[in-house]
Amino acid sequence: MLNFNTLAMFFLQQTWLQRSHSRKHIKKTKISTKKIVLYAICKTK
């Protein structure tokens, strides 16, 4: 089972990174975040 506190912390870090980096980097980060979330959802099912 996935730890949702860890996941929440991860999302906070991602949004902070997105704000502090360039737009090109934001797009890459968003894509990788989606992939990680989809992977996590598949693992928990």
The predicted-structure confidence for 6-38, as pLDDT tens digits, reads as follows 877 888 777 766 666 556 655 666 777 788 788
What pLDDT does 4 receive? 78
Say what the pTM is: 0.35
13 near 2, Cβ under 8 Å? no
User: Hey, how many other C-beta atoms are within 10 angstroms of the C-beta on 10?
Assistant: 15
pLDDT of residue 33: 76
Q: Do the beta carbons of residue 28 and residue 18 sit within 8 Å? A: no
